[in-house]
Amino acid sequence: MSAAAHDLVSATLMRTGEPTASLAYAGRYAVRDGAVHHSIEIASDPTLVGITTKRDIDLSGDRLVLSGPDFRAGTGRSQRIAWRRAEPNLQVTP
Amino acid sequence: MSPSTLLGEAAARHDPSDWSRHALDLIQNDLRRSADTHLLRLDVPALSGIDVYLKDESTHPTGSLKHRLARSLFLYGICNGRIRHDTPIVEASSGSTAISEAYFARLLGLSFHAVMSASTSKEKIREIERQRGVCHLIADGKGIYAAAEALATELGGVYLDQFTYAERATDWRGNNNIAESIFEQMSREYHPVPTWIVMSAGTGGTTATLGRYIRYKRFTTRLCVADPEHSAFFEAYAAANPQATSDKPSRIEGIGRPRVEPSFMPKVIDRMMRVPDAASLAAMRVLSERLGRRVGGSTGTNFFALCVLAARMKAEGSVGSLVTLICDGGERYGHTYYDDAWIEAQGLDLAPHARALEAFLDGAAAAPDAG
Ligand SMILES: Cc1ncc(COP(=O)(O)O)c(C=O)c1O
């Protein structure tokens, strides 16, 4: 996932197990009330266009957990993604 | 009569010139009783043709390379007439310098006050107090300079100001400074002129001495300065920005500063490297394991950067020697860098860095950095 200035977000999700699956979308994001909201504007699955997802933010130290219900209402499933802040890269001058 | 009795009598008579003569005697006698520090050769068979040396500054009487600086600052202050028989001495420090200065102040019968960040290790504070120094702890590390200056004014004393005077109090052309000592000790080695000397910067005084001496003696050696994560020096060098700052305090005690210190001389540096703190502390532990005794955090920063340069030399198929410093020992960091709970509370994960570095030193990986 990458989020940039001007509220733009894009994400690519992949499942490595069998059967393999992937999903990509892009749109706008906003952070309010301790949650991040993604409004999907284009997606590899056209039925997702127009949906706004909500993911609660749990940030502690270098760990960020985003969690919330599935994209589509009614599946009963929820999503949970844990991120860890990357180590800063080694910077070397010429 | 012993020099210290003569010194006491001169102080009682308020005789400044007699006092400074005896004070200089005492400092010179202390130097005469000291041996030079060892230049250790680290055995790394996987780096065949590339020889690694460590100048062990932890063996000074006050346990770190700052023993040299403290001696120089006192000599400079006395010879300039700033330090007299009744001058209270004040310093802003991350701890090591204050330990060494407290030692020399005590030798001369002067009172000593260290102004330090509240994050300074307990072991260092205890060591200063053992030398009869007084510690003043400041919550915001950036405030130590102004607080030290104010305290010196209030006490009618002298603010030694290592960050300003380190580069000029040291005799850069020789007089057994650290650079001259390294080159002399290297002179009969297989690769006597190092390809690289690697050092980190606190005041920048040691790197200034090394860089100037290399030029003065026309050696081909290059100087690489390793900087920790939170420090203004890397940006000052890489972007030629002397106004660079770092908002976060350095986690590696003694090196990395919130501002570009006046003693930092970027023009004598050939390369800089910003080393992640987790890599520094992993390298500190890996090196300690191989030496069989603990070294400090800044030594880890130095050693990691040295390994990165050695890896590049190996990749290019070149041979030669590299030298870095053991700045201080690890006994001052038992409650921090050598405490796994402290490491975890800092959000640091040393394991991947330690694995990568071990693999490199054992010849199983081409580079010492993780990822
Ligand atoms: C442990 C340690 N390592 C490295 C340094 C850096 O030395 P310099 O001040 O000469 O740049 C210091 C300086 O305080 C130190 O205390």
Q: pLDDT tens, A25-62?
A: 999 999 888 899 999 999 998 888 999 988 999 887 66
C-beta B211 within 6 A of ligand 1: no
Is residue B370 situated within a structural domain? no
Q: Which of B139, B167, B195 is the last residue of a domain?
A: B167
Residues B266 and B214 in one domain: yes
Question: Taking CA B152 as the corner, what is the angle to CA B151 and CA B154, rounded to the nearest 5 degrees?
Answer: 60
pLDDT value at A72 more than 90: no
What's residue A88's pLDDT? 67
Residues B184 and B224 in one domain: yes
Higher pLDDT, A69 or B280: B280
Residue of B nearest to A87 (CA): B276
Residues B206 and B334 in one domain: yes
What's residue A5's pLDDT? 60
Residues B183 and B330 in one domain: yes
Residues B135 and B182 in one domain: no
Q: Which residues contact B114 (CB under 8 A, 6 or more apart)?
A: B90, B91, B93, B95, B98, B101, B102, B128, B133, B134, B135, B136
Nearest alpha-carbon partner for B198 in B58, B48, B298, B72: B298
Contact B367, B308 (CB under 8 A): yes
What's residue A19's pLDDT? 78
Which residues share a beta bridge with A22? A14
Is residue B8 situated within a structural domain? no
Are B308 and A91 a contacting pair at CB < 8 A? Answer: no
Which domain does B289 fall in, by range? 35-64+171-361
User: pTM for the full model?
Assistant: 0.85
C-beta B209 within 6 A of ligand 1: no
Residues B232 and B301 in one domain: yes
Tell me the ipTM for this assembly: 0.87
Residues B79 and B46 in one domain: no
Higher pLDDT, B53 or A79: B53
Residue A62: which of B234, B279, B347 has the nearest Cβ? Answer: B347
Q: Which of B135, B167, B199 is the last residue of a domain?
A: B167
d(CA B265, CA B157): 28
Which domain CATH number covers B189?
Answer: 3.40.50.1100
> Is some CB atom of chain A closer than 8 A to the CB atom of B341?
no
Interface with chain A: mutation pick from B274, B301, B349, B353, highest number of A CBs within 10 Å: B274
What's residue B105's pLDDT? 98
pLDDT tens track of chain B, all 371 residues? 888 899 999 999 999 999 999 999 999 999 999 999 999 999 999 999 999 999 999 999 999 999 999 999 999 999 999 999 999 999 999 999 999 999 999 999 999 999 999 989 999 999 999 999 999 999 988 999 999 999 999 999 999 999 999 999 999 999 989 999 999 999 999 999 999 999 999 999 999 999 999 999 999 999 999 999 999 999 999 999 999 999 999 999 999 999 999 999 999 999 999 999 999 999 999 999 999 999 999 999 999 999 999 999 999 999 999 999 999 999 999 999 999 999 999 999 999 999 999 999 999 999 999 86
Pairing of strands B320-326, B196-200: parallel
List the domain boundaries for chain A: 2-84
pLDDT value at A6 more than 80: no
Residue of A nearest to B309 (CA): A92
Q: Which of B143, B167, B191 is the last residue of a domain?
A: B167
> What is the position in ligand 1's atom list of the atom closest to the CA of B201?
11
